[in-house]
Structures are given as C-alpha cells and as structure tokens.
Amino acid sequence: MACVSFAKLNAASSQWIGGQQSFAQRPGSSTRLATRRVSVPIRAGAYTDELIQTAKAIASPGRGILAIDESNATCGKRLSSIGLDNTEPNRQAYRQLLLTTPGLGEYISGAILFEETLYQSTIGGKKFVDCLREQKIVPGIKVDKGLVPLPGSNNESWCQGLDGLSSRSAEYYKQGARFAKWRTVVSIPCGPSALAVKEAAWGLARYAAISQDNGLVPIVEPEILLDGDHPIERTLEVAEKVWAEVFYYLAENNVMFEGILLKPSMVTPGAEHKEKASPDTIAKYTLTMLRRRVPPAVPGIMFLSGGQSEVEATLNLNAMNQSPNPWHVSFSYARALQNTVLKTWQGRPENVEAAQTALLVRAKANSLAQLGKYAAEGESEEAKKGMFVEGYTY
C-alpha cells in the first residue's frame, strides 16, 4: 500500500515519530505519573521457572532459531518457485526435509512452526515435535493471525490474533510447543504514526503476557520494515522509539523479562537508500540501539533477516558478536536459512540429502557468526543474492 502524505493526517493520534509531538511526550503525562498508584507486579506464576529455563535453552551458545512458520499461502509461493503445487503433502515433505536433518540440533536450538506443522507427522508417522525434541530443539509456534489495515493511520497495519489466544496457547502447549511468535510491523515510509507504534507495542505486550500465562516463552517481534530510501540514522531513530514503547507496555503488563526473547530487525538503511552499509556499520548502529533500549535481563536477541541475502545476514550477525554482549545475540532466520535449501531440493526425493546438507552449511555458518567466528570464504553466488521483497508478508 502507498502511504498518504503527512498533510492529510491531522489527528493527534497520528503524529509522526520525530515530528512535532512524539508519542513519548504525551500531554499531561507528568501529572498522570505523579498520581499513578504503585502496585506490586504480578509475575508469570506457575510457569516462571520453566519459562526462564526454556529461554536459556534457546539462547544457548552457537545456536539460533530456524523459522519455518510461513502460512500455507506463503509456503505455497515458495513451493511454486520450484514448480510444486501448494498441497499439504508437498508442504509436509518440505517441512520433513528441514526438521529431520541429521545433526541440525548442533546449530539450531528452536524451530518456529506454523499451526499445521505443529500437528503434522513425518510420512512414516513420527510427530514433528518429537523429531525436534530428539535433537534438543525446542518446538515453537506462530500465534498471530496476520496483519490488517489500521483505521485512522497512514495506511499502516496492526496485528490481529488476541481473541482466543489464551485457549489456543494452552492447546499449543499440550501439543509440545514451548515458545511462541507474534510478528507485527512498523513502516518508516508511512511515518510511522504514533498510533501504529502504540498499537504494535500494546499488542505485543498483551500477547507476551498471555503466552507466559500459558507456559510459552514469547518472542517479541516488532519488525521495522526495510522498505524505503531513508538513511541508517533514521532507522536508528525509529527503532529506539519503537523499542522504548514496547518495553514500556511489556512492563505495564507485568511481563517477566527473563522469560522472553526478542526478534528485532537489524538497524540498516532503507532497501532503496543509495548507500549500502557495511556489516561493521550495521553492527555499530544495531548494538547502539540495543544497549540504549534492552534490559540485560532479556536472555536472547534472535535477529530476523528481513530480506537480506543469506551471506549478508550471517556477516552482520558475525559483526555484532566481535565483542561480548549482555544478551545472547543470535538468529531467527527463515529465508536466510532456507533459500539455497529449497533450490537444491527442487521437490525431488533424490535431492533430499543434498538439500539437508545445504541447510547444515547455512546453520553452521550462522552458528559460527553467533560465536563471532564466521568467515565468508567459499560462499556460493546463490547465497549472496538479496531477497528483499517490498511489502513482504508471511
């Protein structure tokens, strides 16, 4: 969707970040703060110890998350790129290839699944969640219901799925899931408006509280989209505002920080910006944002790749791990782990082993990057191809 101009937005709820009135400067806020009652926070209750243990297990040295939580429609687009129809047997075959890769648990600590996959089994009848557990990979589940237009905003979105989330989360826990993912987005070319940022932050906080209440470690993911021609400084400005709002509402909802994981975008220039940033520059700006906004109580920061090439995503992660960080800085990649795998497989049974080898190559590369030990020698040209798609949806 195209963004309407600033002049068309007059409502106070749609002020721009960096404009005349920041959402952090609410009229009368000092008065409200002075009269606000102080209460003892209610924590995660019966699941507290388990949530902390799960988060630590996922944020373990040299390991990260494999994201295969694409909706059936998006998975169908992936399959069509190699000439396969979007059928459940084809989706099952591809997910089986990924989740049964021998040795995957050495580099992967968690796998985010789509609801269909959480309840699926291999062709031989073994539950996918059991395949993961055998390799000490924690099963996770995508719980949001996707993006829809946000009324009153500048053609921005909000993420739906809070209705019924508690009961669904309880069922996912019974099925074996131990962490959850909720993705919402913020668009810099669309402002972003204070309304959209507040909606994103509040939705993430409510989801996180509900997840913890049902034994699931919430991944908190306000993705700042790559779309736009803005410089890296603008991305940093917006990222700081967004994460300030997110943590404000996480605290308001009594979310236990030791039992969450973050899935931020890296701080990069817009995809259409004339100057490309180096991995060292991206690491510098991203770590600056994190150090200013993220409490050290958070155990793990699992970056999304956001349309970067496989090699770019790995190089940038490696640059962020050249010195110690207060959190486990790792990856939660989808396309940046799967692109070469899919093209190697081509839907042919005889290519499964080669495709699984390709997955291990990418997983190992990112494992080394998490440890700050990755070198890009020998990477294929395919792995260097960018995957940015304007307005990308899952």
- Catalytic residue numbers read 221, 263
Q: How far apart are CA 173 and CA 214, in angstroms?
A: 7
Sequence-ordered list of residues with C-beta below 8 angstroms from that of 225, at least 6 positions apart, any chain: 185, 186, 187, 188, 265, 306, 391, 392
**DSSP three-state, residue 256:** coil
Report which of 200, 212, 227 is spatially closest to residue 166, judged by C-alpha positions.
Answer: 212
Q: How far apart are CA 127 and CA 175, in angstroms?
A: 10
Taking phi over 0 as left and psi of -120 to 50 as alpha, with beta for the rest, 306 belongs to left
Tell me how many degrees the CA angle 237-241-244 measures, rounded to the nearest 5. Answer: 140
H or E element, residue 63 = none
Residue 366 Cα distances to 6, 329, 362, angstroms: 41, 11, 6
Dmax of the chain from CA atoms?
Answer: 69
H or E element, residue 246 = helix 232-252
